[in-house]
Amino acid sequence: MSLTPNHEPITTLAAASATRSAAVRLSAVAAPHVAALALMLHTETDFGSRLGFVLAWGILNGFWLVLLRRPAVSGALALTMVVVLVLLSQLKHAVVQMTANFVDVMLIDHDSAAFLFTIFPNLKLSVLVAAAVVLPLMGLLWWADPFRVARLPALAGKLACLAALTLYSLNWRDEAWRGYYDDGYLSKFARSGVTAVSDFLANGFMESDATADRRLAAFVPDSCHPAGQRPNIVLIHDESSFDIRSAPSIKVPAGYGSHFKSFDGKARQFMAESNGGPSWFTEYNVLAGLSSRSFGRFAYFVTRIAAGRVERGLPLALRQCGYDTASIYPANGAFMSARNFQTTMGVDRFLDARDLGAKGVEPDGFFYDAALDLMQQRQRGKPLFMFVYLAANHFPWETTFRPDLTPSWRAPGNLPAIDEYLRRQAMSASDYQRFVASLKKRFGDQPFLIVRYGDHQPEFSPHILDPKLDEAGIGEKLESYDPRYYATYYAVDAVNFEPRQSAVVMDRIDAAYLPLVTLEAAGIPLDPSFVEQKEIMLRCKGVFYGCGDGAEARRFNRMLIDADLIRGL
Nearest 5°: the CA angle 371, 407, 457 is 55
pTM of the full predicted structure?
0.82
Q: Report DSSP letters for 368-398, one per residue.
A: HHHHHHHHHTSPTTS-EEEEEE--TTPSP-S
**What is the C-alpha to C-alpha distance for residues 352 and 111, in angstroms, rounded to an integer?**
14
Q: Domains of the chain by range and CATH?
A: 23-203 (no CATH), 239-533 (3.40.720.10)
**Tens-level pLDDT at each residue, the chain (569 residues):** 344 455 555 555 555 555 555 566 677 778 888 988 998 999 998 898 999 999 999 999 999 889 888 888 888 888 888 888 888 888 777 766 678 888 777 766 656 555 555 545 555 666 666 666 666 776 666 666 777 888 999 899 999 999 999 999 888 877 666 777 788 888 898 998 888 888 888 888 999 999 998 999 888 777 788 888 899 999 999 999 999 999 999 999 999 999 999 999 999 999 999 988 789 999 999 999 999 999 988 898 899 999 999 999 999 999 999 999 999 999 888 888 899 999 999 999 999 999 999 988 899 999 999 999 999 987 777 899 999 999 999 888 999 999 999 999 999 999 999 999 999 999 999 999 999 999 999 998 899 999 999 999 998 999 999 999 887 888 888 888 999 999 999 999 999 999 999 999 999 999 999 999 999 999 999 999 999 999 999 999 999 999 999 999 999 999 999 999 999 98
Give whole-number Cα distances, 347 to 95, 327, 408, in Å: 26, 7, 39
**What is the C-alpha to C-alpha distance for residues 78 and 474, in angstroms, rounded to an integer?**
36
Residue pair 37/83 in contact by the 8 Å Cβ criterion: no
Q: Count CB atoms within 10 A of the CB of residue 301.
A: 22
Of the candidates 19, 521, 544, 45, the residue with the CA atom closest to the CA atom of residue 272: 544
Helices (H), 44-109: 47-68, 71-96, 102-106
Q: Is 453 left (phi over 0), alpha (psi -120 to 50) or beta?
A: beta
Of the candidates 286, 208, 219, 271, the residue with the CA atom closest to the CA atom of residue 532: 219
Consecutive H or E run containing 170: helix 151-171
Residue pair 261/160 in contact by the 8 Å Cβ criterion: no
